[in-house]
Amino acid sequence: MDFLTSNCVMENLSFPNQVFKSLLFAPGNKSALLSKLPRSSPDASIIDLEDSVPVGEKENAREITRSTIPELTKKAKKMGLFVRVNAFGTSHFAEDLSNVISDDLTGIVVPKISSGEEVDQISKSLSDFGFGNLPIMAGLETVSGLVNALEIAKRPQVKWCYFGAEDYVADLGGVRRSDNREVLLARSQISQATRLGGIHAIDMVVSDFKDEQRFLEEAVEARSLGFSGKLCIHPDQVGLANKAFKPSEKEFEWAVEVVKEFEKAIERGEASIAIGSEMVDEPIYKRAQATIKMSQQ
């Protein structure tokens, strides 16, 4: 249909093309797990050199990761592939860049970024190693990172931001709750900052990988807050994330009807119409546009 590809549909939706509904982590020192990453068909995989790798295994993880990257890119060409390095300022950061990062990666994940100035320093380090154009996924998981979320999200090399709830709450001195009330403000800050930065927000992990209900509830809530995907720590979570962040057939049909009828109304000189029992004006029209775009990704 013409209205689905019209310029009007695409305005205000100029986000990067790479949207990842599911991002699956695996420890960099576990070669057997790394080789299985494509099996659950995540939108992207993240080889972790940080939290899931003990200090004594860092060098081994780099060696395994370096040898695994070509295999994974060949095996799953449609899967995004990232490496999460150790935080900037740690003794492992430069070693990770010099020994692991490659042009085969979709991007680099840098945890615990605290400010826009820190992003600038990270970008310089990447440039010094020959990776000045490699996209950054910024980890917002400290109080300073949340306070400075907007300036981080607006740095040109940053294309995604993810929320690390466990580290954030620990840094805050708070307590994790089952209802996530303590991180609602933080999640909202991130989704707002990334929206203004024109990039994507990725939601926090669910550490209990057997609790499918909690994962789905969090993913649905995250989507309602403006997040476009969710971090996964187990293959079983991938399908849940892909389902939760993709509009249902009913939502898509609603969006198509809204866009079609509203554009007809605009041509008639009307800016508010009724579709069934729902009043539709420009904000709802824009939400329908976004739903269509999300359905096509």
Distances from the Cα of 205 to the Cα of 8, 22, 90, 124, 125, angstroms: 35, 11, 23, 29, 28
- Return the residue matching tokens 């609603």: 254
Classify residue 22 as exposed, middle or buried by CB count within 10 Å of its CB (0-12, 13-18, 19+). buried
What's the average model confidence in pLDDT over 222-230? 95
What CA–CA distance (Å, rounded) separates 132 from 109? 14
What's the average model confidence in pLDDT over 132-156? 97
Task: Tell me the pLDDT band of 282, cut-offs 50, 70 and 90.
Answer: confident
Q: Is the pLDDT of residue 101 over 70?
A: yes
For the chain, list the domains and their CATH numbers. 17-244 (3.20.20.60), 249-295 (no CATH)
What CA–CA distance (Å, rounded) separates 147 from 13? 25
Reduce the DSSP state of residue 275 to 3 states and report it.
strand
Of 45-54, 127-136, 149-158, 250-259, the least confident = 250-259
What's the average model confidence in pLDDT over 236-260? 81
Give the bridge partners for 24, in sequence order: 45, 232
Ramachandran category for residue 179: left, alpha or beta (phi over 0 → left; psi -120 to 50 → alpha): alpha
Give the count of beta carbons closer than 10 Å to the beta carbon of residue 11: 10
What's the average model confidence in pLDDT over 161-173? 98
What pLDDT is recorded for position 17?
A: 59
What pLDDT is recorded for position 8?
A: 38
Write out the two tokens for 282. 């420009």
pLDDT digits (tens, 9 = 90+) for 1-20: 344 444 333 333 334 458 89
pLDDT digits (tens, 9 = 90+) for 29-69: 999 999 999 999 999 999 999 999 999 999 999 999 999 99
Q: Which residue has the higher pLDDT, 173 or 4?
A: 173
What pLDDT is recorded for position 287?
A: 72
What pLDDT is recorded for position 263?
A: 80
- Contact (CB, 8 A) for 218 and 163: no
- Contact (CB, 8 A) for 260 and 3: yes
Of 141-145, 177-181, 270-274, the least confident = 270-274
Nearest in space to 40 (alpha carbons), one of 181, 241, 284, 184: 241
Helices (H), the chain: 7-10, 31-35, 58-75, 93-99, 116-128, 143-147, 149-153, 165-172, 184-197, 212-225, 235-244, 249-267, 282-295
What CA–CA distance (Å, rounded) separates 46 from 232? 10
Helices 282-295 and 249-267: crossing angle, nearest 10°? 130
Write out the two tokens for 66. 């370096």
What CA–CA distance (Å, rounded) separates 24 from 45? 5
What's the average model confidence in pLDDT over 241-261? 77
What CA–CA distance (Å, rounded) separates 268 from 247? 30
What's the average model confidence in pLDDT over 180-197? 97
Total-model pTM:
0.84
What pLDDT is recorded for position 261?
A: 73
Write out the two tokens for 297. 């990704």
Mean pLDDT, all residues of the chain: 89
